[in-house]
Structure 1
Amino acid sequence: MRINKGDTVIDLGCGEGSITIPLSKKVKFVTAVDSSKRMLEILDEKCRAENIDNIKTIKENLEDVTLKEVGKQDIVLLSRSINGISPIKDTINNVNNIADKYVYITIFGPENWKFENDFYESIGKEKNDFAPYNYLFNILISMNIYPNIENLEIKTNRKYKSVQDAIDNGKWQLNNFTEEEKEELYKYLEKNLRKNNEGMLENPNDKADWILIWWKK
């Protein structure tokens, strides 16, 4: 990110602050927004533990944040938070109005769900998928925003302590599974996850794929 010590940043969908806190040490002030009260509580706890006093937290859906509420910010960041947002054009228009210098977005890349898709195909189940990054790109172009796009090329696979740990990861949308499908998932993971030399389970097709989309105002 193109940032300097005098910048203000708004982190929309900040979670527990995995990016918010490192950013706060490089900029003037960070406004951290998330819809989860618990995530913001964890972030506040981390700030107190590290004596960080330049982060303000706001509990709100990122698509509802307005320029009137937060004012102009040098940089708007939406890291791993815009997937599934609808209507996305309204949200983009809003964050573009808030940003004074740059907007940075990360969104799922085309290979992100390869491992999951193989499982869904094996049991003949349709997967509820997110809009691809090129959909967002086309929307931006239609708004006369011409962004830079980069694949972050994450090399490492996801790693798990056990098959159950892989199931509990949160990415499998288990609330949409029948009990029989959950049993099939366990068998699939048991068959396709292999121990690495650290004793952890992994699969070469099970890795994050993130696209960075950013533009200068």
Structure 2
Amino acid sequence: MLDFEKEWEFIQQTRPKPTDAQGWNKRSARYDNKDAKNAYAEEFIKKAGILPGESVFDMGCGTGTIDVLLAKQGHSVLAADFSDGMLEKLSENARMHDVHIDAIKMSWEDNWSHFGLADNMVDVAIASRSMAVPRLDEALDKLTRIARRHCCITMTTGTAPYVDARILSAIGVPVSPTKDYLYAFGILAQKGFEPRVDYLYSTRKDTFDSHEEALCDFSRMIDRCGTPLSPEEAALAKDRLSRWLAEHIVENPDAGKPDKKGLPEGILCLDVLRVISWACITWDTQEQNAY
């Protein structure tokens, strides 16, 4: 039988380390919590299978966009994140929308019982785009134990969200697909659950104030594509990227308007929106007939 956890741990060793709490603290400064529509959050809630009036635990909550929508719908929400900056933004978001959300600073690796979390304490446990963990089986177990009825997570279906396979292919850089969701599906199935998979999509509009800014931003795709490149190969790829951007960067008709994070859009953008695909995995927590 394939050991999905062993394979997961192996592939994590080949990847750049996930952003730590300090890194997310810095990123949180980019969010200003303006009341912007979030299509991904709304679609996630539709697919999560949360019933009216159910209590929800959200691990890796970020700024709490999903949690605010849930609270507005009348759900009791407990949210957790390991970033002080993100939790501060969640608190601002809750105040702005006049909802109550309980929040705790906690990581996937922590002992959750030390923070007052207990088995079956909520109806539903969710984790949206926050499963970059060293031990996937342990994280899935923690979510499963805390939820009386149901769990929902989203994970990547192809490359990581910060990598655009279309752009890298256009400049001749091989991409190593990740398909992280397959590991979670396999682990859950081997534990005796019956995970269900659906898909949702988020669009990403990258805007910049200069060609140099765009090149610096997209060059990180080359560094994190999952394919080993020599310094010479990486330099040539960045030259090709610069030429590709010169052909595909246009004036942004929405320059200055708030983006999804509430910050002003730059004066330049790509000529097409980037589309990121996510696998939405749900499972009921009560029946577990491991084999």
Q: TM-score range by the shorter chain?
A: 0.7 to 0.9
Segments of structure 1 that go 5 or more residues without pairing to the other structure are none
Task: Go from structure 1 to structure 2 and tell me whether the alpha carbon gap of 1:167 and 1:201 turns closer, same or farther (over 3 Å shift).
Answer: same
Equivalent pairs counted in the alignment come to 213
Secondary structure in 1 matching 2:204: coil
Matched, 1:50 2:50: no
Task: Go from structure 1 to structure 2 and tell me whether the alpha carbon gap of 1:168 and 1:81 turns closer, same or farther (over 3 Å shift).
Answer: farther
Match of 2:247 among 191, 198, 202: 191
Task: Go from structure 1 to structure 2 and tell me whether the alpha carbon gap of 1:170 and 1:194 turns closer, same or farther (over 3 Å shift).
Answer: closer
Match of 1:40 in 2: 87
Task: Go from structure 1 to structure 2 and tell me whether the alpha carbon gap of 1:50 and 1:151 turns closer, same or farther (over 3 Å shift).
Answer: closer
Secondary structure in 2 matching 1:61: coil
Matched, 1:73 2:114: no
TM-score normalised over the length of structure 2: 0.60
Matched, 1:212 2:280: yes
Secondary structure in 2 matching 1:93: helix
Match of 1:150 among 195, 198, 207: 198
Q: d(CA) in 1 for partners of 2:162 and 2:98?
A: 41
Contact 1:80–1:105 (Cα < 8 Å) also in 2:
yes
Contact 1:149–1:212 (Cα < 8 Å) also in 2:
yes
Task: Go from structure 1 to structure 2 and tell me whether the alpha carbon gap of 1:65 and 1:5 turns closer, same or farther (over 3 Å shift).
Answer: farther
Secondary structure in 1 matching 2:153: strand
Q: CA deviation at 1:190?
A: 3.0
Matches within 5 A, 1:12-27: 12-27=59-74
Secondary structure in 2 matching 1:70: coil
Letter paired with 2:82: S
Q: CA deviation at 1:188?
A: 3.1
Secondary structure in 2 matching 1:22: helix
Letter paired with 1:20: D
Letter paired with 1:145: F
Letter paired with 2:246: E
Q: d(CA) in 2 for partners of 1:131 and 1:109?
A: 4
Q: d(CA) in 1 for partners of 2:107 and 2:280?
A: 22
Q: Which moved more, 1:105-114 or 1:168-177?
A: 168-177
Q: Which moved more, 1:165-174 or 1:206-215?
A: 165-174
Letter paired with 1:35: F
Match of 2:207 among 144, 154, 161: 161
Matched, 1:62 2:136: no
Segments of structure 2 that go 5 or more residues without pairing to the other structure are 1-47, 256-267, 286-291
Q: CA deviation at 1:204?
A: 5.4
Q: CA deviation at 1:126?
A: 6.7
Secondary structure in 2 matching 1:81: coil
Q: Which moved more, 1:131-140 or 1:170-179?
A: 170-179
TM-score normalised over the length of structure 1: 0.78
Match of 1:29 in 2: 76
- Aligned-residue Cα RMSD (Å) equals 3.5
Task: Go from structure 1 to structure 2 and tell me whether the alpha carbon gap of 1:196 and 1:48 turns closer, same or farther (over 3 Å shift).
Answer: closer
Contact 2:163–2:221 (Cα < 8 Å) also in 1:
no
Q: CA deviation at 1:212?
A: 0.7
Q: CA deviation at 1:201?
A: 3.2
